[in-house]
Amino acid sequence: MQMGDQEHQTDAQYVRELENQIKRLKLIQYLNDTMNSTKNPNEILAKLLDQCISMTGASSGSIMLREKDSPDLKIVLFRNLDANVVQKTNIKVGDGVTGFVVQEGRPKLVNDVDLEPKYIPVRSDIKSELAVPLTIHGFIRGVLNVDSDHKNAFSEDDIDLMQTVAHQAAQIITRTMLTSELERKIQLQQILIDISNEVEKVYELKTAFDFVMKRLADKLKIQRGMLVLFDNEDVNQLSVVTAYNLTEEEMSRGIYRVGEGIIGRVVSEKTPISVPDINKNKDFLNKMKVKREKNTEISFIAIPIKIEGYISGVLAVEKEFEGTESLNDETDIIYLIGKFIANKVRAFQRITEEKQTLLDENLQLKKELYKNYGLSNFIGKNSKMVEVFDLVKLVADSQSSILIIGESGTGKELVAKSLHYNSGRREQPYISVNCAAIPENLLESELFGYKKGAFTGATVDRKGKFILANKGTIFLDEIGDMPIPLQGKLLRVIQEREVEPIGSESKVKIDIRIVSATNKNLQALIKEGKFREDLFYRLNVIEVKIPPLRDRKDDIPLLVTHFKQKYAVQNNRKIDNISPEAMRILQAYAWPGNVRELENTIERAVLLCKSGVIEPSSLPGFLVESEHSHVSDLSIGKWIETYIKNSSYEGKVYDTIVGYIEKELITSALLFNNRNKVKTADFLGINRNTLRFKMRDYGIK
């Protein structure tokens, strides 16, 4: 009887575990379906919360988040709770069940709130509560909790389910935070560029100031702004000379002494000052007697106006507070804008060189703006390549110039095409130019075009690559080989977004995205005076660095499989597999020609394969079994011995062996040098005509 009871208990436990496993699998499936059904983070979080309530049998629930460096928890999403109660609920880290979970970083299950001293009621009939932490990058960002109007409503199994949902919710919150933050920073960067371009065209101080304020009001929702400058008569006194959304009477009261209030402190301390809420800051004097909403946090940003190292005044704005990080970013942008205003303050002189430097600094903010673009042309699981894939996804739809760095054969043009065809310009032209393959005297006309009669042989007008790529993308391959004089012209095209064909008296406006690539060290070329630094910063807004194949050898099996299938289909061959020995040889080789060389090798192997399985005999002779990809003397000796012992080769052993090695050497060198015969001849140290004759003799195309 006892044994029967034990068996019955074991069966019941097994059924329960099975049911929980099924419930967990259903939950995971639901989470995946939810993630794929919508891209709206708030909608996804709402669905996750609803699922938690449904699967645990809860009657209500919420998601709470905290700001960085803040002890306060804010309910950002809730179900079946009174909105007025939620708004008034103020929970800090350590307070209540949810505050405890955030503080300790572990789940908390309370099946009788009457026995829990930490419980803070948000609904009178709640009897049980379950809360799990939301952990993002090791930081407890918030808490996911559900409530029930029954005691003992939740179990340990519910904790597992909630933690599964919490993990998914944390990922969504992370993506939402990063996307929101980066979009905001990109917007700030664009505001800076727009303002700098427009202010340069304006000569009147008030006109320039009004334009800046209207743009900031439109983009950043600033409420007021003012420009405070030193009085001519009193070197220790400043007054408002122009303002946005302030009356003449209010402006007349805006008089400050050095060191007085926030404005005076900015001058005396020679540094920007920003405060989250002027209603709570004792240094904000409100001398202009402006009426403001007392229950709203209003931030105030004041930055010094410097001319030739001296403080000449203060630029200040105020707006609704949106968070510490936002305030810091906005302070940086206002500080930079102040430099443009400074030039207008000083007799409306031209924009300083510092402004140009700022425009050249297009930060790699778009690096982490994530978008779900599929890049089916990319093969690889190596961590370095995954970083490349993620980066391409992030920046594909941006408008910024991108510099792709990598050795020959790593797939730079594949990345360039992926950037284009996964962007909003995908329906527009994609134009590729190899700067190293076109003679120097022809490259300018190739890029910018020419008018009929511009030079001997110019019998008709010809559009250059930049004009042909208008509205689309131009890919400048081997940009490091572009001549210095042409680099200056390219820089002007990038700056002015205009192209002047050779022999033309007018310029053509273009809207174009520039993607460039190189296998050279441009920083070294800059030091040698062979590449312009200002052009480098224009092109290198975002850098995509592709690792060589030797640094991602774990991708070789994937690449081999891909190329094997590709060329088997193209050549109508049935290739079932590749032998472990052949794969080991491929993974041991250093691949100086990278993926392109590997692709060529697999294409050759597919054509030479006789058994349906690629064996070492189908691979080129220079591929060997050495871990460091060096041909051992023993391997060479054995290979030569097979010909010496074969009587059918008598009288032609020398030509056969030397010819085979020479053909393989020339083929590999051509691949390594991107099929450029001039470079290949120099690389091999032979005459160009000699290379051409040998290519003809060996049938190398």
pLDDT per residue over 420-456, tens digit each? 888 888 888 888 999 888 887 788 888 888 888 777 7
Handedness of CA 375, 381, 383, 384 (dihedral sign): negative
Q: Which CATH class is domain 200-361?
A: alpha beta
The answer for 461, left when phi > 0, alpha when psi is -120 to 50, beta otherwise, is: beta
- Do 21-178 and 200-361 have matching folds? yes
Over range 8-14, report the average pLDDT: 58
Helix/strand/coil percent split, the chain, to 5: 50, 15, 35
Report which of residues 135 and 202 the model is more confident about.
135
Residue 275 vs residues 39, 197, 327, 331: alpha-carbon distances, Å:
35, 29, 8, 10
pLDDT of residue 276: 87
Answer whether residue 637 shows pLDDT above 70: no
Q: What is the CA radius of gyration of the chain?
A: 34
Could you tell me if 403 and 544 are in contact, meaning their C-beta atoms sit under 8 angstroms apart? yes
Q: pLDDT at position 632, please? A: 42
- Structural domain spans, the chain: 21-178, 200-361, 365-547, 552-698
Spatial separation of the C-alpha atoms in residues 40 and 172, rounded to whole Å:
10
Is the pLDDT higher at 598 or at 347?
598
H or E element: which one contains 264? helix 261-269
Residue 391 sits at φ, ψ, to 5 deg, of: -65, -40
Beta partners for residue 238, in sequence order: 230, 256
Which CATH number describes the domain made up of 552-698? 1.10.8.60
pLDDT of residue 359: 39
Predicted confidence at residue 538, as pLDDT, reads 92
What tens digit of pLDDT does each residue of 102-121 get?
888 889 898 888 888 878 87
The CATH number of domain 365-547, selected from 3.10.20.30, 3.40.47.10, 3.40.50.300, 3.30.70.270: 3.40.50.300
Q: Tell me which residue of 269, 251, 256, 188 sits closest to 222, measured CA to CA.
A: 188
Which pLDDT tens digit goes with each residue over 353-404? 344 444 344 333 333 323 333 455 577 888 888 888 889 888 988 889 999 9
State residue 514's pLDDT score. 93
| Mean pLDDT across 400-415 | 90
Top CATH class of 21-178 equals alpha beta
Instruction: Flag whether pLDDT at 31 surpasses 80.
Output: no
